[in-house]
Amino acid sequence: MKTDYDVIIVGAGSFGMSAGYYLAKSGASVLLIDAHDPPHHNGSHHGETRIFRTAYTMGAPYVALALRSGRLWSELAEAVRESATLAEHSEIFRQTGVLSIGPAGSRFLRSKRESCEAFGIPYEYISARDLTARWPGFSVPERMEGLYEPNSGILFSERIIRAYRMLAQKYGAELLIHTRTLRIEQGKRGNEVYTENGAYCANNVLVAAGAWSAEVVPELLGRIQPVRKPIGWFKAPAHRYGDGTFPAFVVNKGGDEEYYGIPDLDGSGLKVGRHDGGDILAPGRPIPPFGAYRQDEEHLAAFVRDFLPEAGGLLQGSVCLYENAPGERFMLGPLPGRPGVWFAGGGSGHGFKFSSGIGQTIGEWLTTGQSLTDVSAFRI
């Protein structure tokens, strides 16, 4: 393996693998370094699926980036279909519709509605009574209502990582797996990346190490916080909660308490997770498995009983990591005081749907010095 590259990417997960693909496709020489073998279960991209939606509560920059990402997911799907080696991963997106449920008149729903109207996103506003008549699997209090996005759905996250990996390598990117990055230093030839298996040099380095980014860039300690999140798959009758009869959903119970779910796609169960809360992890410590804490199942099961009453008990559980940033705000761009070192992170549990747009944006920055999408709202 050569040691000099245009760009070295530390962390080949959602943001990093996407950026590697777009950079390699543009002709840049790229080295991706990962502590594991992506896709894997030690980061934020496993668990098979993620929700894709474009109605957003966090303002116009996020909506614009989501819309761009949606177009790029369609382009990726086409590239996958055209690749004989990726035939088994052909479906990366499924249009299930996404239903957001929250207290009537809440900012949670109002801001989504405003973003739909501002950007021309198709939506329906639905009362609790009409919602439960349309999807009888839900039980929703009268004080709540819903916003339905018919064109949204789910992304198959692990298939996407595999697709990006294979396509990036097709365009010449190199991938170093099971290799921990120790530090990044400014040297005579540019930025030098020191790993367990040797040192590599590049003009630009992109750190996209997710929840563990602060281990590589100590300045991020306290700004990127690893949070352990339990996820459960619950037994559910297909005629109520199966694909084609039930949407993906987000439920805000009021304030910060928020849950999300994905219909039963293949008999593995109705997937449910909680967006708020979680257990803060110390860098370098092992991740406690699902069930290590009583509340892992307790909180999810209580939500299922209240809102999804025809679902049954837990079939399986897992944990993933959030890389929480202050205000759940993305952090994208050059790191202050680190010439040629860039960071893409702060996904905070809602970043995967944007990873196509973020990867292409980073690629544009590092090859042309500018981006087609204004992401100044995410600067570090």
Q: Assess whether 299 carries a catalytic annotation.
A: no
229, 320, 350, 361: which one is catalytic?
Answer: 320
Q: Which position among 25, 45, 49, 181 bears the catalytic label?
A: 49
Contact 290, 311 (CB under 8 A): no
275 is catalytic: yes
Task: Out of 165, 253, 353, 361, pick the active-site residue.
Answer: 353
**Cis previous bond, 39, omega within 30:** yes
How far is residue 86's CA from residue 173's CA, in Å, rounded to a whole number?
A: 17
The two three-digit tokens of residue 61, written as one number: 């920059």
In contact, 283 and 296? CB cutoff 8 Å: no
Matching residue, tokens 């279909």: 81
46: annotated active-site residue: yes
Within the chain, where are the H helices?
Answer: 14-25, 60-82, 107-119, 128-134, 157-170, 213-216, 238-241, 295-307, 355-368
User: Which among 25, 45, 46, 229 is annotated as catalytic?
Assistant: 46
> Per the residue annotation, which of 45, 50, 159, 253 is the catalytic one?
50
3-state SS assignment for residue 266: coil
Question: DSSP character for 368?
Answer: H
- From the candidates 53, 228, 275, 299, which is the catalytic residue? 275
Please confirm, yes or no, whether 271 is among the known catalytic residues.
yes
The catalytic position among 228, 271, 274, 350 is 271
CB contact at 8 A, 144 and 101:
yes
Look up 94 and say whether it is catalytic.
no
Q: Is 253 a catalytic residue?
A: no
- Catalytic residue check, 305: no
Catalytic residues: 46, 49-50, 271, 275, 320, 353
